Amino acid sequence: GNSVTQMEGPVTLSEEAFLTINCTYTATGYPSLFWYVQYPGEGLQLLLKATKADDKGSNKGFEATYRKETTSFHLEKGSVQVSDSAVYFCASGGGGGATNKLIFGTGTLLAVQP
């Protein structure tokens, strides 16, 4: 079945450092791909998405490119801030028929230190 694998955390960075969180997927067909962010004590919020190969999703300085050849959707940000500290989830959708179900990775905790 479909699955999503993302790098384990926690990831600890200093402010203004470069961020990469790796995410790979397995799927039949070509799923839509998402990054969600969960700030402490809150629900998940959609951060960015890409719906087809070579699409780049971007939001709030974060970017991720849908790479079909490597089945990857790595999250990047050039200069992280303390306010980016959160748990980041990679997810894929499209392999579950007409249920609209998403498959989530296990989440990566990012801690940014001043």
Partner 1 sequence: NAGVTQTPKFRILKIGQSMTLQCTQDMNHNYMYWYRQDPGMGLKLIYYSVGAGITDKGEVPNGYNVSRSTTEDFPLRLELAAPSQTSVYFCASAHRVGAYEQYFGPGTRLTVT
Where on the chain is the footprint of partner 1 (CB under 8 A)?
32, 34, 36, 42-46, 49, 89, 93-94, 98-102, 104-107
* CA pair distance 12, 35, nearest whole angstrom: 19
Nearer residue to partner 1 within complex by CB, 37 or 80: 37
SS3 call for 83: helix
The answer to whether the CB of 84 falls within 8 A of the CB of 75 is no
Q: How far is CA 10 from the centre of its chain?
A: 15
Q: How far is the CB of 39 from partner 1 (least distance, A)?
A: 11
Nearer residue to partner 1 within complex by CB, 75 or 105: 105
Tokens of 114: 């001043």
SS3 call for 98: helix
Nearer residue to partner 1 within complex by CB, 17 or 107: 107
Q: How far is the CB of 103 from partner 1 (least distance, A)?
A: 9
Q: How far is the CB of 96 from partner 1 (least distance, A)?
A: 9
Q: How far is the CB of 45 from partner 1 (least distance, A)?
A: 7
Nearer residue to partner 1 within complex by CB, 45 or 113: 45
The answer to whether the CB of 58 falls within 8 A of the CB of 65 is no
